[in-house]
């Protein structure tokens, strides 16, 4: 059985995956402003999870 932290991580990863799918769709529609904005949010999310993992907040 998964821990609460593992479930939260899976949920967050699913959200990031969804953002990346939107990013690919926007890129294919050639909307550079939205692509850059969404890419920045996705990178910030990934950095936050990396920080939380390194500080032990996810354990």
Angle at 57 between CA 54 and CA 59, to 5 degrees: 95
Question: Where are the domains positioned within the chain?
Answer: 4-55
Q: pLDDT tens-digit profile of 13-49?
A: 888 888 888 877 877 777 777 777 777 887 787 777 7
Q: What is the Cα 44 distance to its own chain's centre?
A: 8
pTM beyond 0.75, yes or no: no
């Amino acid at each position: 059985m998964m821990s609460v932290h593992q479930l939260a991580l899976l949920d967050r990863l699913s959200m990031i995956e969804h953002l990346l799918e939107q990013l690919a769709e926007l890129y294919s529609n050639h909307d550079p402003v939205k692509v850059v904005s969404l890419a920045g949010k996705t990178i910030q999310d990934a950095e936050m999870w990396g920080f939380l993992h390194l500080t032990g907040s996810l354990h």
